[in-house]
Amino acid sequence: MLKGKTAVLAVTGSIAAYKIPNLVRMLTKLHCDVQVLMTQNATQFINPITFETLTGRKCLIDTFDRNFQYSVEHVALAKQADVVMVAPASANVIGKIANGIADDMLTTTVMACTCKKIIVPAMNHNMYHNPIVQDNLQKLARFGYEIAVPDTGRLANGDIGDGRMPEEGVLFQYLMKEIACEKDLAGKKVLVTAGATREALDPVRFITNHSSGKMGFAVAQAAMRRGAEVTLVAAHTDIAPPLFTEVVPVVSAADMFEAVTSRAADTDIIIKAAAVSDYTPVTTADQKIKKSDGTFCIEMKRTEDILKYLGAHKQDGQFLCGFSMETENVIENSRKKLRSKNCDMICANSLRKEGAGFGTDTNILTLITADGEIELAKMSKEDAAHRILDVIILMMKRAQQKQSVSSPPAEES
Amino acid at 186: A
Of the residues 41, 92, 124, 209, only one is catalytic, namely 209
Helices (H), 89-144: 91-98, 105-112, 125-128, 131-142
Which three-class secondary structure state does DSSP give residue 77? helix
- When computed from its CA atoms, the radius of gyration of the chain, rounded to whole angstroms, is 26
According to DSSP, the residues that pair with 399 across neighbouring strands are none
H/E run at residue 277: none
Q: How far, in Å, CA of 302 to CA of 320, rounded?
A: 22
Query: How crowded is the C-beta side of 173, counted as CA atoms within 13 Å?
Result: 14
Cα–Cα distance list, 168 to 21, 151, 242, 288, 300 (Å)? 9, 12, 15, 44, 47
Q: How far, in Å, CA of 340 to CA of 31, rounded?
A: 45
Catalytic (active site) residue 209? yes
Closest CA to 167 of 147, 152, 145, 146: 152
Q: How far, in Å, CA of 228 to CA of 205, rounded?
A: 38
According to DSSP, the residues that pair with 64 across neighbouring strands are none
Cα–Cα distance list, 111 to 36, 46, 94 (Å)? 15, 24, 12
DSSP 315-378: PTT-EEEEEEEESS-HHHHHHHHHHHTT-SEEEEEETTSTT-STT-SEE--EEEETTEEEEPPS
Cα–Cα distance list, 372 to 131, 338, 375, 400 (Å)? 60, 12, 10, 19
Which residues are tagged catalytic? 209
